Amino acid sequence: MLWEELSWPKHEKMAESGATVVMPFAAIEQHGPHNPVAVDTCLATSVCRKATDGLENVLLTPTMWAGLSPHHMEFPGTLTFSLETYISVIQDLVRSVARHGYKKVLLVNGHGGNVASLQAAALSLKHELGITIWMTTYFRLGDKIAGEVRHGEIGSMGHSGEFETSMMLHLRPDLVEMDKAEKQVWKRPHALMTQDMHKGGLLNAPADFTRQTKPLGTSGDPTVATAENGAKFHEATAERLRDIIQTLAAL
């Protein structure tokens, strides 16, 4: 069920019944010359809707479309909060949910730059509100299927690369201009740094997209993206997310 489609008496009953609330968080930021700035919001919203479809006693809020994207601000179209503002936004939204009596919340992230903020906010809110609050990043749930069907080398599934572009070709091909897609695979200096969405990440090195050193605003290889693989990525991430939601709802 969609949060915004319920009246306040229905919300009151849902809270009393112990409903689980799924809250997507994404971004509006540049995704290279070939993709629209709405990629993160489009994909996170779609995966969450598929994952929650038909589940009883589960509510899906509207996607928080603005996130933490200062590292993309050299590219027009990007919108960002400051770190302090963004954490406050996350906390105020979850406090609103908890104020109405909901006690089980899942934060679903769709943008790499949001991870630390969501984790920090969730930790603080857990102790402040005494609710059960979990957090996951949807595209990381695609690691298994990505390893099975990916076409590109390690590094191809970075920002607006093979993974995201494939999903956009599946969901919104009308917004993708594949004739403008170019390969730009980043090589990180240490193997434990994030090499792409499904490789590395044990060593943190904040990314910075600049028009001087990363002129495309991308990281990966969108040229090998296909709608067929996009459908597989979409299905697999939604299925794993659905399992997380059902586990939380059963607590």
- pLDDT at 206 (0 to 100): 87
Q: Considering Cα of 177, then 178, then 179, then 184, what sign does the dihedral take?
A: positive
Please give the pLDDT value at position 51: 98
d(CA 51, CA 31): 25
Q: Is pTM, for the whole model, over 0.95? A: yes
**What pLDDT digit, counting tens, does each position of 47-106 carry?**
999 999 999 999 999 999 999 999 999 999 999 999 999 999 999 999 999 999 999 999
Instruction: Look up residue 246 and give its two tokens.
Output: 């059902």
Which residues of the chain have a pLDDT value below 70? none
Query: Is the four-CA dihedral 22, 64, 210, 219 of positive or negative sign?
Result: positive
State the Cα–Cα distance between residues 198 and 146, nearest whole angstrom. Answer: 8
Instruction: Quote the CA–CA distance of 181 and 35 in Å, as a whole number.
Output: 8
Say how far apart CA 193 and CA 31 lie, in whole Å: 21
